[in-house]
Chains A and B, each alone.
Chain A
Amino acid sequence: MVLPTIVALVAIVGFPLGYALYVAFHEYDLTQGGIGAVSGLDNFRRVLDMDVFMQAVRNTVVLTISVVILELVIAFGLALLLNQPGLRFRNLYLGILLIPLLVSPIAVGLVWRLLLHPDLGAVNWVFGKVGLPAQEWLSVKSSAMPAVIGVDAWHETSLMLLVLLAGLTALPRDPIEAARVDGANKLQIFTTVTVPLMMPVILVTVLIRMISAMKTYDLVYILTAGGPGGATETVSFRIWKIGFTNLDMGNAAAASILLLLAIMVLTLVLIRVMRSDVDA
């Protein structure tokens, strides 16, 4: 009964992963023909020696931490608002808030590139109306990454909201009622009852979002092409450059394996935290 599943898994996950691992340990420059000699760890060393790759690693860390925290705070806040008993038009609000999730990252990038246009964009137009100076959002190093983070938050918060709202809706009412009967105020109920009960859901949400944030590519591609001066280049974007500009599939595969390892380590850490939380 499980054989078809195993075959499908091997075909869909196992083969590409195994092939990437194989390539990562071989010389494979597309311009030189097929896969070359075994190179041991050379591809990994070369990738880690690249200044641009390490800059992309730093950018990805900043992006991932920023979007996960920002989106968690916004999504949790919105989920709490939408979870209020007796809230009218809840489904309407939820529907509107979920719209960004339905838009493809490329479309989001194109729309926001226009909105953030320094000269023709709506954002600077609004700034002008309220007396604030126009900003060069995507063309200045100091504001390019925050702008990308902001656009990502607009796009991806909905996903977190959906999961957190589902978690809140499913929370048992008894502990909250008991706390209220014991005289706890709203803040105390939130910090001592709601958040601990929600912790497994929060961790799963963070895990899902963190993994996808570490792979960010599309938004950066459209908004800034990694610029200015590499300020928004992410690991996935650099892997694409190594593979399809440098045509060095060996190095690209090695970089991909490094990204996969980083994601796996962080996932294991979070799963361990979740388990310890459940055990406690």
Chain B
Amino acid sequence: MVRNSKINRRLLMGGAGAAGLGATLGTRFAAPASAQEITFSRDFEGTTLNALMEDLTETTVIEEMLPEFEELTGIKVQFEKVVYPVMHDLLVTQLASGEGNGAYDFLQVDFYWTYEFARSGWVEELTPRIEASNGALDMSRYSEALLNSNSRVDGGTYYVPQYIYPMGLIYRSDLMEDEEFKASYAEIAGKDLAMPESVGDYVEVIKAVQQINPGEMYGGVIQGMQGDPILMEFCNWLYGNGGDFYNEDLTEVIVNNEAGVQALTYFADAVNNAAQPGAANADLNDTGALWRQGKAFSSVSYLFFLSDGETVEDSQVSGKGAITTMPGGTGLTGSWSWGIPVSSPSPDAAFEFIKWVESPEIALRRGMGGGVAAQSALYENEEYIAKFPWLAQVADLAATGKGLPAITRQNQLVEIMGRHLSNAVTGGATPQEAMDAAAEELAELL
């Protein structure tokens, strides 16, 4: 017997964790996003779903709403919360365990694991389930660019977007308007302070800012730690400078062409002459701390880097930061998505969860809890934007941003590039040598 329940405003508001939030959101559930009632099956009552989740605000917000999902479907969900660096290893060992043998029922997938997981046959293609849901899981809620970068692989839809983390140029908007600061800048740079239009311009700006108040304010705070941190940041410099890792049809490595080498030259120059000491081993914690202390003029970083600066209690820069697209016009846009592993013991119940967590109402509440929404409609929601004004830039960032090339071994690309970039910025190789060495290894990934 098929038993169904529907998600509706009354039920949503009935959750224990939603009491306070509900008071402020109640009217919004009558907005267009909730026009469609979504039906959930109670066939899986008594099932417990397990998932490995990154330990961050978005996860906590969802976790607090889980009792509502259990009330709606009878499905209990348990999150195993871990820090990001261990996620891939933990997932891979489970994903490779064979059909139905894994510990996790659904997955939270970073954008550069998507091809690896799908092409290895570890995750289920969701197209049939999405079609059978009759619009309950409506992929038109997401932009085509987002779907192409984190949901579709080789023509099939394997994932459903969860949230995005676009990168861009974060800067001190108050200093851009500060007459004294601008005068000091003009004296050093020999020209007026203005938003940089190219990567080269940006390096010039932050090198000049570095000299205004040496040791007290850095032109940029840069995360140059070997591995993921340096590569994630450098992607912006590379894309912004017109470079890329491979040509468009993925037949040739181009990272060591003129644009790529120039991008690394700019980046190494910035790390050594316009950034905080120790930038070559800094990660996001290091750069974030300096930004929140007001010791940085700018940072090429994630949107949540800015939102932390705006919202963390002891931040010295609340209300003083802004974000814009990477100089040169293109930055990196990362994202997370939901997937169902082939090794999932309960894939049908897992799909019910994905339907629920990506329903417009729940997506809105996740957004209001601090998440950077993946669904386009939320960026037209005035209260969401009013609460997090910097999110107004997300559309621009996402529209101009790129992910990593669509190769299976993106994770390996990150490792290879991270190693050679780190070598270059610490003087172990010239930018040309580093990019040539990286290109040699990247060719093996095609």
Contacts and interface: CB of A to CB of B under 8 A. Distances in A.
A226 B280 contact: no
Given A118-B278, A119-B278, A227-B280, A141 B227 contact: no
B115 to A, nearest CB: 10
A136 B411 contact: no
Nearest to B424: A229
B422 A227 contact: yes
Interface string B382-422: 00000000000000000000000000110110110011001
Contacts of A245: 88, 411-412, 414-415
A230 to B, nearest CB: 6
Interface in B223-244: 224-227
B88 A134 contact: no
Contacts of B121: 33
A33 B122 CA distance: 9
Interface string A112-140: 00000111100000000000001011111
A244 B89 contact: yes
Interface stretch (B50-58, B298-306, B348-356, B425-433): B425-433
Contacts of B408: 31
B279 interface: yes
B366 to A, nearest CB: 30
Nearest to B117: A31
B442 to A, nearest CB: 13
A224 B419 CA distance: 12
B226 A141 contact: no
B120 A229 contact: no
Interface string A219-257: 000001111111100000000110011110000000000
B116 interface: yes
Contacts of A62: none
A30 interface: yes
B188 interface: no
Contact of B412 (A32, A140, A246): A246
Contacts of B89: 240, 244
A30 B290 CA distance: 40
Contacts of A136: 277-278, 280-281
A197 interface: no
Contact of B226 (A119, A140, A226, A244): A226
Given A226-B227, A246-B412, A141 B278 contact: no
A273 to B, nearest CB: 37
Interface in A131-174: 134, 136-141, 144
A226 B428 CA distance: 14
Given A229-B419, A229-B426, A244-B88, A119 B280 contact: no
Interface of B: 88-89, 92, 96, 116, 119-121, 224-227, 276-282, 286, 289-290, 295, 408-409, 411-412, 414-415, 418-419, 422-429
3 smallest CB-CB distances across A and B, nearest first, come from A227-B226, A229-B423, A118-B278
24 contacts: A30-B96, A31-B116, A31-B120, A52-B419, A118-B278, A119-B276, A119-B277, A120-B290, A136-B281, A139-B278, A139-B281, A139-B426, A141-B426, A224-B225, A225-B226, A227-B226, A228-B280, A228-B428, A229-B226, A230-B422, A240-B89, A244-B88, A246-B409, A247-B412
